[in-house]
Amino acid sequence: MFKFFTNKQWYPWSIFGSLIILVSTWYQVQLDVMINQWFGEFYDTLQKALTTPNSVSEKEFISYLLTFAKIAGVWMVISVATDYFTSHWTFRWRTAMANYYHENWNKARLTEGASQRVQEDTLKFARIMEGLGVELLRSLMTLIAFLPILWGLSKQITMLPFFGEVNHALVWVAIITALGGTLILAAVGFKLPGIEYDIQKEEAAYRKELVLGEDNINNAGSKSVNFLYGNVKRIHFKMYFHYLYFNAVKWSYLQGMVIVPYLALAPTIVTGAITLGFVQQIARAFNKVENSLQYLVRSWPIIVELISVQRRLSEFETKLNNARDEVKI
């Protein structure tokens, strides 16, 4: 699976391509930091304009909007270009995997479901890594950029409801609630990777029987096909049940987290110690830090699929390597 990073043929893409993605993602995060600063200044200006008529000129107000448009425009261009390049980067990764399997096809074909693993699993692996990998990189960089910002902003927030005085309160609230949610979701969804693997296994057996039925009509309507489809049905229904309670916990947690920063700010807001712009700025920084720490929570269903695909490809490569060792002997 990782020939892409060990084969010199792919170094221009695996090494230099990774650096391009790294730099462009970091630049997007820096633009997001600029937007966060803009939110604070803009909402302070908005509050001033609404409370004191004619204290802000129309030209000054519109200039804030134009500033946002410029930053957002650059962010959009960089984001679209990065996504386009990343798609090509992940396809090269898939190609490196596929080439290795093609070169060893005489031995690879002896493994059950070899064609599916070479075609479908490599496709899934590449697509999942494209979304999941870039999102992980963005989450880490966002955390690195916004955690110091939240730390500095939260100096003015020293009181929490129910807990009283806490230094840098919002930082600790973000860390504790995000990590707590991650642990809860991991505990609730620990069965999902195994179920996803079983789904792929049952679907592969069912598909293989149908393929055989293309050459032999007796297979297409046989009891074997109905039996295999029954297995597919059972494992899917099992998955639906487990995702029922998993999604209930997941969305309850994520919806509840919407009010957490405002709840934490409540003692400071009601005393009028901070401005509207500061509230917007610190709430947005809090959400950025929290979302970065919630990476596993938000990505868990995709991670489940990745674990299943990685397990299938690992088994495939293990059998392929064993076959090569037997030939050498």
The domain locations on the chain are 3-328
Which fold is adopted by the domain 3-328? Answer: ABC transporter transmembrane region fold (1.20.1560)
The pLDDT of residue 236: 92
The pLDDT of residue 220: 56
- Single pTM value for the model: 0.69
Exposure on the CB side of residue 189, measured as CA atoms within 13 A:
28
Distance separating alpha carbons of residues 290 and 295, to the nearest angstrom: 9
Helix (H, G, I), strand (E, B) or coil at 278: helix
Contact 312, 204 (CB under 8 A): no
Distance separating alpha carbons of residues 194 and 202, to the nearest angstrom: 12
> What six digits make up the tokens of 164?
């009283």
Counting beta carbons within 10 angstroms of the beta carbon of residue 139, is it exposed (0 to 12), middle (13 to 18) or buried (19 or more)?
buried
The pLDDT of residue 222: 66
Query: Closest by alpha carbon to 300, among 260, 234, 233, 249?
Result: 249
Distance separating alpha carbons of residues 176 and 216, to the nearest angstrom: 60
Ramachandran category for residue 162: left, alpha or beta (phi over 0 → left; psi -120 to 50 → alpha): left
Helix spans in the chain (H): 3-6, 11, 18-51, 58-103, 105-108, 114-116, 122-153, 169-188, 192-215, 217-220, 223-257, 260-270, 276-293, 295-328
Q: What is the pLDDT along the chain (329 residues), one digit of tens a residue?
A: 667 777 788 888 888 988 999 999 899 999 988 998 888 888 888 888 888 888 888 888 899 899 999 999 999 999 999 989 988 988 888 888 888 777 777 766 666 666 766 777 777 778 787 778 888 888 888 888 888 888 888 887 877 887 777 788 888 888 888 888 888 888 888 888 888 888 888 887 887 777 777 666 665 556 777 888 889 999 999 989 998 998 899 889 888 888 888 888 888 888 887 788 888 888 888 888 888 888 877 787 788 777 777 777 777 777 777 765 555 55
Exposure on the CB side of residue 55, measured as CA atoms within 13 A:
10
The pLDDT of residue 23: 93
Contact 246, 9 (CB under 8 A): no
- Dihedral (Cα; 69, 70, 75, 81), 10-degree rounding: 110
Report the chain's terminal Cα–Cα distance, integer Å.
25
The CA radius of gyration of the chain, in Å to the nearest whole number, is 26
Helix (H, G, I), strand (E, B) or coil at 120: helix
Residue with tokens 């004191």: 52
> What six digits make up the tokens of 209?
């029987």
The pLDDT of residue 219: 57
